[in-house]
Amino acid sequence: MEKSNNNNSHAISIQKNDKIVLIGGLLLMGLTLVTGVAVYSVMRQQIESSLGRGLDVALQGKAHLLESQIEKGLADTRALATRPFLIQSIRQLRDQNENQAARSDLENNIHSLIQSGFTAAVVYDAQGNQLVRAGHFSEKHAQALPLGEKNETTLIWDGEFVLHTREAVFGPDGQHIGSIMTETTLPQLTRSFSEIRSIDETGTFMLCAPTSVSDQKMPCLISQIDGVRFKTLTRVVEGGVLPMDYALDGRSGVIAVIDYRNVPVIEAYAPLEAIGLGMILKLDEAELFKPVTEELKIIMVYLGILIIAEVLLLNWFIRKLINSEQSAKLAKDKAEQFSFELSLKELELRERLKEITCLYEIRRSIGTELSVEEVCQQIFKHLIPAMQYPESASASIEIDGNRFVSAASNQAHSNALVSNIKVNGKVCGQLSVFYSEDRPFLEIEEQKLIDTITVDLANWLERKQVDELLRERLKEITCLYEIRRGISTELSVDKICRNIFDYLIPAMQFPEIATAVIEIDGRHFESGKYDVRDGKLMFSRANSERVCNDCYHSRDSIGHVLQSDINLGGKKYGYIKVTYPEDKPFLIQEEQKLLDAIASDLESWLDRKRLEQTLVFVAEEQAHTIGQELHDNLGQQIAAIGYQARALEKKITSLGNESMAAIAASIATQVQTAVVQIKQLAQGLLPFELEANGVVAALEKLATRIAKTYSIKCDFVCEHTIRINDKNLALNFYRIAQEAANNAIRHGEAQHLTISLVAKNDKLILSILDDGCGFSLNTNDPGTSGMGIKIMQYRAKQLGAKLKFLSGVEGGTEVRLEMGMV
């Protein structure tokens, strides 16, 4: 019975399926046909619209070219009618018809027009008699289109376009004296008119003139693929007006009509208002849609095949749908089972997502700028919500003996997960998570999460250590840079040592307990107590705490005293030493290297200073030797020559030879002058007064010698009794004053100098003031900073003094040397 019911239901199902297939096939076939017809109609309209726009654009371009070419030809003829030579020749022939010279000039000028672009030209007098003719006029006036209302200007087709025009010639008084008629070929217009052959086989370009009043016929030039023809067309046909009628009425556009051949075409029409013509450009619809029509049969075959395939596919899909309906019930049962399993998976994935989010947030929020406690709190903030039972969970982190706990920590919890924190391979703490006894852990997953967090925390601690070590090295590099910069600009040992203390102490690990000592050639310098407010180097620290102190203590500490010797010439010249209190031996090897580098820089500076002093000493010795030689040897010999010249003068005078006596006297005088100059030069190189009576007497003598030598005013002022026992100091003072005075005279053209030596406010001030033209006060300017200024600056640095170049109150320059009292 059940089998029979199944067979009946199967037969009914088959009948229903056949009806569904039949109805669906008919609907599908109708829909396909309607869609095809609609697509074809839309495509045809789009083709017509696109072609119409293209024809209209092409027609507008040709219209513009036609008008511009004809206007140019008319303008050329008008220009001929106003030429002075033409008017003059016509007037002369009017007055004297037999004037051969005027006729010859007119012929020459008219014949020259042929070479300038005109094909023919003829000149008439006021009565219409021909005066001169040149070139050949077109004989096809029957194939001409009149331009404008007057028939004197026409457009002729004679294998090419020829513009035929006639213009009246008027004399200066406005009287009509004749006319000129010309013809000009328009090759560019001809080429444009003939290009219609390249558009299509049925493409047509028409150019028509208005109809005459008598017969309503309009002359037209028609360009097609077979050539250009002249034809007279009726403006109004039986079916209505032609598009050319719209063009001649001044309208433009695109239209689909039946043309004069009774053929459907698409035409673009436009007026040429400037010259009174109309023009159209058209294509046959049959030619236009020929490719579509040829393919339409093939498309219909494919469309039939498509409909059959669609019906077969529809039958197959319907049968498949029925089969799938039967299996849908089975699938529904399976889906319910899968849904239950997926819900379990979803819960598990949600837990894993919490763990991933926890790791992401922890890694994003811990930066090296945070302290250890802040990092631990960030871990607690994201770890607790990621646990399976966050309301019952608490956590703690132990690092280097310090313990950090979460806000809801409960020490009574005995159920815990623990993960060790290893920094550089050494265990320095642990992370613990606690549950109450009645809450079980997800042993594997939550243990992996905690292990991953401890690895991230260990990596952060290692980065923190590296950052702190880099900060220490940066302090050392900055210290070395500042010390070397100070050494390069200072010559005083006191200032050099103070500069070293200013930058060395802040560069130590613990500057507040550090003391530095420098001893150079028996001189002792000490840093004193460090005050962070007075420090020149300010290094900000992210936090005063150290991460993992055990790791720091494991570094090689070398005690509480660091010392580096300063050697000069292979012998110990001094030392530099840094000390910590004995109970804090935290000095490390890197700080010893820093101290060695500073000692090496001091050695180089001391060696350079010794060499510079040696060079100055050698220069002074050389000047002393030259001055001594000039004074004691060369000066005495030249003086002896002078005495001999005087004796020779007396002897020659006694013999009565006056001319020779005068020569001998001149020699004696010049020798005496040379002796004085040698003496002055020797005194400049060898200041005897400096060694004998001190710097005050030497400066006073210098002022006197300058005034006498250069015939200028030079004063020396010293209001107090000043005695300088240091020969090197006195010599440098003297040399600076000497160089400044020489510069003022030679370069500043000074006429008044004032050299003063004053003791004021525990300062010794040497001033050289002049009234010269002055110079640029920028001593770093290569144009003004010569060797003399550089030597003065070096001598000032050697003394530990300040050398200034100031502008005088009333002009000129003041060179001022200031130094502390010795």
Residue 132 sits in a domain whose CATH number is 3.30.450.20
Please, how many CA atoms are within 13 Å of residue 664, restricted to the half-sphere of its CB? 17
Q: Is residue 324 part of a domain?
A: no
Same domain, 78 and 109: yes
Q: Is residue 138 part of a domain?
A: yes
pLDDT at 149 over 70: no
What SS3 class is residue 428? strand
* Per-residue pLDDT, 610: 78
Q: Is residue 134 part of a domain?
A: yes
Which has the closest alpha carbon to 266: 50, 5, 491, 18?
50
Which tops the pLDDT comparison, 307 or 448? 448
Q: Is residue 347 part of a domain?
A: no
What digits encode the pLDDT tens for the residues 124-140?
888 888 888 888 888 88
Q: Taking CA 144 as the corner, what is the angle to CA 142 and CA 148, rounded to the nearest 5 degrees?
A: 135
Same domain, 675 and 723: no
Binned at pLDDT 50, 70 and 90, residue 266 comes out as confident
Q: Is residue 104 part of a domain?
A: yes
Which has the closest alpha carbon to 696: 752, 791, 766?
766
Work out the average pLDDT over 737-750. Answer: 85
Binned at pLDDT 50, 70 and 90, residue 790 comes out as confident
Q: Is residue 311 part of a domain?
A: no
What digits encode the pLDDT tens for the residues 74-97?
888 888 888 888 888 888 888 887
Same domain, 676 and 725: no
| DSSP at 391 | G
Same domain, 450 and 411: yes
Which has the closest alpha carbon to 97: 178, 182, 167, 181?
178
Same domain, 747 and 795: yes
Same domain, 483 and 606: no
In angstroms, the CA 320 to CA 156 distance is: 79
* Per-residue pLDDT, 332: 83
Same domain, 484 and 545: yes
The answer to whether 793 and 747 have CB atoms below 8 angstroms apart is no
Binned at pLDDT 50, 70 and 90, residue 11 comes out as low
Residue 506 sits in a domain whose CATH number is 3.30.450
Q: Which residues contact 332 (CB under 8 A, 6 or more apart)?
A: none
What SS3 class is residue 148? coil
What is the separation of C-alpha 658 from the centre of its chain, rounded to a whole number of angstroms?
Answer: 89
Work out the average pLDDT over 660-674. Answer: 82
Q: Is residue 462 part of a domain?
A: yes
pLDDT at 584 over 50: yes
Name the amino acid, one letter, at 124. Y
Q: Which residues contact 459 (CB under 8 A, 6 or more apart)?
A: none
Same domain, 417 and 462: yes
Work out the average pLDDT over 489-513. Answer: 82
Which tops the pLDDT comparison, 202 or 358? 358
Torsion (CA) 100, 105, 106, 110 in degrees, nearest 10: 140
Work out the average pLDDT over 553-572. Answer: 76
Which tops the pLDDT comparison, 39 or 119? 119
Q: Is residue 573 part of a domain?
A: no
Which of 133-137, 332-336, 435-439 is the least confident region?
435-439
Same domain, 510 and 609: no
Please, how many CA atoms are within 13 Å of residue 176, restricted to the half-sphere of its CB? 10
Same domain, 497 and 638: no
Residue 723 sits in a domain whose CATH number is 3.30.565.10
* Per-residue pLDDT, 245: 80
Which of 283-297, 349-363, 507-521 is the least confident region?
283-297
Name the amino acid, one letter, at 783. G
Same domain, 510 and 639: no
What digits encode the pLDDT tens for the residues 387-421?
888 888 888 889 888 888 887 665 555 678 888 98
Domain that holds residue 592: 581-686
**Which of these three, 224, 258, 288, is where a domain ends?**
288
**Which of these three, 253, 288, 323, is where a domain ends?**
288
Binned at pLDDT 50, 70 and 90, residue 540 comes out as very low
How many domains in the chain? 4
pLDDT at 305 over 80: yes
Which tops the pLDDT comparison, 183 or 196? 183
Same domain, 815 and 728: yes
- Provide the whole-model pTM: 0.42
What digits encode the pLDDT tens for the residues 586-624?
677 788 888 888 888 888 888 877 777 777 677 667 766
In angstroms, the CA 592 to CA 597 distance is: 9
Which tops the pLDDT comparison, 668 or 40? 668
